[in-house]
Amino acid sequence: MKKIINIIIGGIVTIIIGGVSYNVSKSDIVKNFAINTGMNQGQAEQYINTIPENELVSWKEIGQELIDDGNYIINLIDEKIDCINYKYDWETPTFSCFEAKSQLEKTSKDEISLGQSYIKLDSDSASKDDIKETVRLIQQVISDYQFEIFDALGDTLDIDGLIKTCLYNKSVLEAVLESN
């Protein structure tokens, strides 16, 4: 089951959540994305139109990817970050290794929670309350991506891309919530 089934007739997109098909206007998704990102309508539409078809996957796939990423971060913290025996290049007098670990732990837990919420959207029992909770968790993960550790890691991660992906999914879910 695709997150967005490519049934675009007159700008209508069919989105399946909880076994229910929601027909939303593509322009509503663009409008929400523009608001969420600060882009203008044209930039938002252009960005959305360049999303490759193979990236429009099921809620379950998105969820599993986030759970896997959250678990990867947990393993990274446990196996690769040693605040006792090492000093890292990204540490500063005001940003310690222990603070970085704390930020990564919070991010990993929030990614796992968001992943579980996405998987719930793919189940037949998902409701509008589950959609609202997913939107809330998306915003929490976006906030986590603003942590200093991600700035410190710099170009090793595409945080901007991760945030835009989150904002796109949030925009889709908001369009679903706005539809009747």
Q: How far is CA 52 from CA 57, 75, 103, in A?
A: 10, 31, 32
Task: Rank 6-10, 19-23, 143-147 by mean pLDDT and report only the highest.
Answer: 143-147
> How far apart, in whole angstroms, are the C-alpha atoms of residue 67 and residue 177?
24
Q: Positive or negative CA dihedral for 133, 134, 135, 138?
A: positive
Task: Quote the domain boundaries for residue 67.
Answer: 4-178
Total domains in the fold of the chain: 1
Please report the pLDDT score of residue 4 as a whole number: 41
> The pTM is what?
0.89
Query: Do 112 and 73 contact (CB within 8 A), yes or no?
Result: no
Model pLDDT for residues 151-165, shown as the tens digit of each residue: 888 765 688 889 999
